[in-house]
A and B are shown apart, each in its own frame.
Chain A
Amino acid sequence: RKEVEQDPGPFNVPEGATVAFNCTYSNSASQSFFWYRQDCRKEPKLLMSVYSSGNEDGRFTAQLNRASQYISLLIRDSKLSDSATYLCVVNSDYGQNFVFGPGTRLSVLP
């Protein structure tokens, strides 16, 4: 089993739709969690950190469920510019062991 797994893609949704991605991780000692976004042929960029109580940044909401070891990302009112690959990232300790999931590709269609 991979350490970080994500929903298989691609997700093709119309503009304005709400879309949710899930991510599961296997290491129960994981301490910090992130969502990164990667555009085609570009580098990954931080979208948002994921906090235990859940957090929101505009149209994006991230949730963490430690008991079930999964993380989610909800995108509301999706825009064409949201089209990208979304990478779930887990840090297994307070060090620097960042493990990336395989990513889920989102295409928002006009």
Chain B
Amino acid sequence: KNEVEQSPQNLTAQEGEFITINCSYSVGISALHWLQQHPGGGIVSLFMLSSGKKKHGRLIATINIQEKHSSLHITASHPRDSAVYICAVGGTSYGKLTFGQGTILTVHP
């Protein structure tokens, strides 16, 4: 069993829909990261959080430390949100991250 599990693996939505991607982890963490990778593009950091909730534009990330679970929400989805979304958890050892498999999101106009 992977230490970081994401669901779903693939997600297709229509423009304007509300999207949720889930991440569960089984290890102790110092922070959880949500990353975005557009096709052929590099990886950018969307959120880093260790508790509660963060919001940036149409993106919201939440984390429940007790349940070892995080969600990434996208409100009013747009085709430019089409990308791979990756959940990663950081422990305390030199900043190493453990990554989920990623969720491929496709938003159709």
Do chains A and B interact in one complex? no
Residues of A within 8 A of B (CB): none
